[in-house]
Amino acid sequence: MKIAILFGGSSYEHEISIVSAITLKKSLKRNEPLFIFVDSAREFYLIEPEKMKSKTFSSGEYKKAKKLSLERGGFSMAGGLLGGRKPLEFDCLLNLIHGRDGEDGKIAGMMEFFRIPFIGPRLEASVMSYSKLNTKLLAQALGISVLEYELLRKEGPRKLSRLEYPVIVKPVHLGSSIGVSIVREASQLDYALDVAFEFDDLVIVEPFVEGIREYNLAGCKTSAWELSLIEEPQKEEFLDFDKKYMDFSRDTRVQEAVIDAPLRERLETAFKNIYDPLFLGSLIRCDFFVVEEKVYLNEINPIPGSMAHYLFDDFEGIIERLAKNLPKEKSIPVDYRYIHSIQSAKGKA
């Protein structure tokens, strides 16, 4: 099976996406994937595998690569017969664009519109998971607990009405800890909001709980559930952008968390309730908090860094099986019966 990896995008997480793609090059070994880079101007380029190095992109060298066009059924490039377009042959596309473009629904809509089979969140799933606010509303609707929160707007009041310090401030529409700050007292809030509002007009504020237990679980549904091991991240207060940049580049499997069977079952049940049916066709990672044995959803990663390959024994097999079990968009026949009936009633041909 030939997989095409789409990465880059017009996003604050553009560089994280490049790191993820370079890392997956090492993980997908049976069939080397194709690499389609989307630059900040949203132009598509076919990157040769040997050019999958960070310098290719930081230096602008990628612009020497073959330029691609998006069309019905896939991508094409110059070089076809009689000066025409030559199709780029692959079986399934993997959406690896983090943040805007990849996780906000743009790519999902384009792939569905052009009828390109793809692994990644569909449009509705993107809408619900791209926004931290929507994620909380989704979890609450599913009966899954979330931490208390307050929403602040760039043009609104800069004060908290319910939460006590310390708190954590997060832009609503970003990942990779971009613009995130821990605020321990009221005098620090303004500066944290200035940082967050550089990236987003909406900010979500949550209580910051010292020493909270966190667990990460990834997976998907193919012909059956395929869940990863459960990781308990060993980290500092939170992973900032630089730490996550390094974290996404890891290419070794992590150790499984030591937890009892009841907690494992609660985490897996919460994951399944979130995933099915909204995220069918995706491989996602959910990050959970556990406080006094109660499970809280922290966030949904609809396109996790490096696709969370380090949490699986058979990552490549899962990607191949997922590609063969993608949701199919319902075909809607259009026969103009209604218009014909009106025309007939009026005696018009």
The pLDDT assigned to 239 comes to 53
- Whether CATH 3.30.1490.20 fits 150-207: yes
SS3 content of the chain, % helix, strand, coil (to 5): 35, 25, 40
The pLDDT assigned to 344 comes to 86
115 vs 118: CA distance, rounded Å: 9
In sequence order, the β-bridge partners of residue 93 are 4, 118
Farthest-apart Cα atoms in the chain, separation: 77
243 vs 235: CA distance, rounded Å: 10
What's the whole-number mean pLDDT along residues 44-63? 97
**3-class secondary structure, 127:** helix
Q: Where are the alpha helices (DSSP H) in 53-167?
A: 54-58, 106-113, 123-130, 132-141
218 vs 229: CA distance, rounded Å: 8
pLDDT-derived band at 3, boundaries 50, 70, 90: very high
Instruction: Look at residue 248 and tell me whether its pLDDT is greater than 70.
Output: no
In sequence order, the β-bridge partners of residue 285 are 218, 301
pLDDT-derived band at 295, boundaries 50, 70, 90: very high
Between 239 and 86, whose confidence is greater? 86
What's the whole-number mean pLDDT along residues 246-256? 68
Q: What DSSP character marks residue 145? A: B
pLDDT per position as a tens digit, 206-216 = 999 888 999 99
What's the whole-number mean pLDDT along residues 66-81? 90
Q: Which residues, including other chains, have CB under 8 Å from residue 73's CB and lie 6 or more apart?
A: 87, 114, 115, 116
Angle between helices 106-113 and 123-130 (to 10 degrees): 180
Instruction: Look at residue 244 and tell me whether its pLDDT is greater than 70.
Output: no
User: Considering only CA atoms, which of 93, 148, 147 is closest in space to residue 303?
Assistant: 93
Instruction: Look at residue 243 and tell me whether its pLDDT is greater than 80.
Output: no
Indicate the fold that domain 128-144+211-323 takes in CATH: D-amino Acid Aminotransferase; Chain A, domain 1 (3.30.470)
Beta strands per DSSP E along the chain: 3-8, 34-38, 44-47, 66-71, 74-78, 85-87, 92-95, 118-119, 150-153, 167-171, 181-183, 202-207, 213-221, 225-231, 284-291, 294-301
Token pair 């384009």: residue: 110
Q: What DSSP character marks residue 132? A: H
What's the whole-number mean pLDDT along residues 91-117? 96
The pLDDT assigned to 235 comes to 60
The pLDDT assigned to 29 comes to 87
Number of neighbours of residue 171 by Cβ within 10 angstroms: 22
Instruction: Look at residue 263 and tell me whether its pLDDT is greater than 90.
Output: yes
* 8 A C-beta contact, residue 120 and residue 281: yes
pTM to 2 decimals? 0.90
In sequence order, the β-bridge partners of residue 297 are 288
- Whole-number mean pLDDT of the chain? 92
Domain edges within the chain: 3-119, 128-144+211-323, 150-207
The pLDDT assigned to 251 comes to 62
User: Considering only CA atoms, which of 272, 305, 276 is closest in space to residue 288?
Assistant: 272
Domain spanning 3-119, CATH architecture: 3-Layer(aba) Sandwich (3.40)
Instruction: Look at residue 123 and tell me whether its pLDDT is greater than 80.
Output: yes
Between 72 and 348, whose confidence is greater? 72
pLDDT per position as a tens digit, 178-213 = 899 999 999 999 999 999 999 999 999 999 988 899
